[in-house]
Structure 1
C-alpha cells in the first residue's frame, strides 16, 4: 500500500462517473490544468468519447464485482467519485479504496454517505486512507461557514446553515433529491440525527440577497457540521416561495408512495430523459449566497455570510482543490469533512468567492 505525492501532474488518480454532467465538467477542467486523471464510469462509449480528445486514459467498469473493482482502483493515489446517486456508488467505492489504499473523495450531499464514511473512520486510520465525501458545493461552503462560526462562538449550542442558489439541477442531483423526498426531513437534535416532516420549520432569512421565507431541508451538513464543530443542534435552510413550501408539506402525505421502488424508477427514468444541467453561461450568471447562524445557552448570536460561485462551478474548483491538497500532502488516514481536511478558509480561496463575514 503506497501513497503517491509530489507533483500533481504525475500523481495517478481517477474520476469515477466522469461521463456524467458534473464529472465531465471536472474532467475537462482537470485536463485544462495539466492534470492526468484516469476517466472511469460504467458506460464504455461515453467514457472513451470524453477521454479521447482530452488525451486521457479511459477505464470503463462497473461496481458489482468486488475483486475486479479493487483491481481497477489499485495503483491510484485517490478516487474522486462523481457518479450519483451516491446511495448506490459510495459504499462499494469506499470499500475498494480501503482495500486498495487509495484516498476517497466524492461530491455527494447525502447524509447517509457522510455517516457511512464516519463509521469507517477507524478502518481508514489503520489503512492510512482519507475518506472525505462532500468536496463540492455539497458541502464545502456551508462546512467552512460552520467552522468559522464555531471559532467565533466556541460554546454555541445551536447552528443554522443555508444557501440561496437559483441554478437548475443536473440529472444526478435531481435523482438524489427524489430519494431525499422519500426519506423525509432531517435535523440534528442533542447530537442525534432525527427524521422530521419536509419543510419542518419555516423562518425568514437574509442569505445575503435580501430577506426571504425559507424552509428546512435534509442537507448534508446535518451530518458533517456536527463532525466539524461538535455543535449538537443543527438545521439547514433554503429559500422557498409559499407554493414551494406548501408543496413540500403536501409531499409529507405521499412519502410512503415516493419510497416505493417502482415509483422511484419511474421518476428517475423521467429525469434521465428531461433534466439537463445548467450551461456555462447560466452558471456564470447565478452566484450563490451562503449563510449561517450560531447561538449559545446565554442567547448570544453570531451570523456569517459569503457569496460564492454557482454551485456547479464551485464543485469543479472545490473538488480539484481537495484533490490537489491530497496530492501534495500526506494527511493521516481517517474520515474527514472538507473544512477539517483542508481548513475553514477553503471556500474563500475558490474562484468567485467573496469575503466570509462573521458578525
Structure 2
C-alpha cells in the first residue's frame, strides 16, 4: 500500500481533506507542527501522525523518507512551500499543494526546479484545489478549442466565506496589487484599475482583475502569452479596491500585517458545512485569436472548499502507484481539461456560441 502524507492536516482545509480521505477509504499520514492538534485529529480518524516543523531541512527530509507523495496544505505557501519542495526532492516524494500564490507557482515551474524534479523522478504539481483546478482546466479546454489563441480571460464566482489560511494569504498580498500575464511576462498593476464584464451564466456582470494563480499556471498549461483573471464585484466595490490600493505601502508594513494576522486568528473560522453546501462556484473563460475571433466556455462546480478536498484527493489517487512523467506540472497539464468534470458536484463544460 502506498504511503502518503497530508502536511498541515490540522488547518481548516487540511482537516476537510483528511476527513474526506477517510470517507473515501484512504489512509494518509497526518502531519504538521502542532502536536496537540495533529495527534487529536489522527486519533479521531484512526490515522498515523507525524509532528515536525519546516524550519530544519534535514528534519523535513528525514520525516518524508518512505513517503510516495506529500499533499502540502500549510500556508501561507510563500513561507512554507520552498522548504517542503526541497524536502520532497531530497526524499524522492511527489509534491502537491493547494496554493493559489503566483510567486509559489513561478518558483516551482522555474526551469531549474522542473529539471531537478525530472532528474529525481519526482512530480511537482502545485495548485490542486480550487486554486487552480477549475480555472486551469478551463484554460486547457479553451486551448483545445482555439489552438491559436493569443489572449485568455478567466473568471470565477463563489459565495463561500474564506478560511483563516486564505484570509492570511490575502492579507500578506495587500501590498502587492494585482497582476496579469502580458506578452509572456507577469506584469503588476494597481488593484481595481482594470474592469470589464463577464457572463457567468446569469447575464453580464462587472468584474475586476485580480492576481489569481492562473496568471502563472495557465501560461504553463497553454503557452497563451496574455492572461488575465477576474472576479465579480459591484462598481462601488471596484472603486473601493482602487482606493485601497493607494494604501498598499502602509498595509504591507510589518506592524499592520501583524495586527491583521492576529485579527484573523481571533475572528476567522471558515465557512461551516451548511454554508459550503449552499455556495456553488461558477467559472467562465474566454480565449481570443489574433484576428479577433473568440470562444467562451462555462462550467459550474461545487463550492471552493469541497472542490479543494475532492480535487486534491482525485489527483492523489491518479498519482499513487502510477508511472508518471517527472518534472513540474499544472493539474490540467498533467491530467487534461476533463479533470474538473470528473469531480463530484461539477458539471460539464458549456461552449457558449
TM-score normalised by structure 2 residue count: 0.98
Matched, 1:304 2:297: yes
Matched, 1:99 2:56: no
Q: Pick from 205, 214, 239: which aligns with 1:212? A: 205
CA distance in 2, matches of 1:168, 1:152: 33
1:317-332 maps to which residues of 2 (within 5 A)? 317-332=310-325
Matched, 1:126 2:108: no
More displaced, 300-309 or 172-181? 172-181
Helix, strand or coil: the match of 2:270? coil
Is the contact made by 1:208 and 1:290 (CA closer than 8 Å) also made in structure 2? Answer: no
More displaced, 22-31 or 208-217? 208-217
How far has the Cα of 1:200 moved from its partner? Answer: 2.6
CA distance in 2, matches of 1:136, 1:273: 25
CA distance in 2, matches of 1:305, 1:276: 31
More displaced, 220-229 or 242-251? 242-251
Matched, 1:175 2:180: no
Q: Pick from 96, 101, 105: which aligns with 1:110? A: 101
- Which residue of structure 2 lines up, in the alignment, with residue 82 of structure 1? 73
Q: Pick from 29, 32, 35: which aligns with 2:23? A: 32
Helix, strand or coil: the match of 1:219? coil
Compute the RMSD of aligned alpha carbons: 0.9
1:1-359 maps to which residues of 2 (within 5 A)? 10-119=1-110, 120-359=113-352
TM-score normalised by structure 1 residue count: 0.96
CA distance in 1, matches of 2:149, 2:174: 30
Where structure 2 has 5 or more consecutive residues not aligned to the other structure, the ranges are none
Helix, strand or coil: the match of 1:143? helix
Helix, strand or coil: the match of 1:15? strand
Is the contact made by 2:279 and 2:302 (CA closer than 8 Å) also made in structure 1? Answer: yes
How far has the Cα of 1:244 moved from its partner? Answer: 1.9
For these two proteins, the number of residue pairs brought into alignment is 350
Helix, strand or coil: the match of 1:277? coil
Is the contact made by 1:145 and 1:291 (CA closer than 8 Å) also made in structure 2? Answer: yes
Is the contact made by 2:2 and 2:321 (CA closer than 8 Å) also made in structure 1? Answer: no
Kindly provide the CA deviation profile for residues 275-329 of structure 1, in whole angstroms up to 9, marking residues without a partner as x.
1111111111110000000101111100010000000010010000000111142
Q: Which runs of 4+ in 1 moved over 3 A?
A: none
How far has the Cα of 1:181 moved from its partner? Answer: 2.0
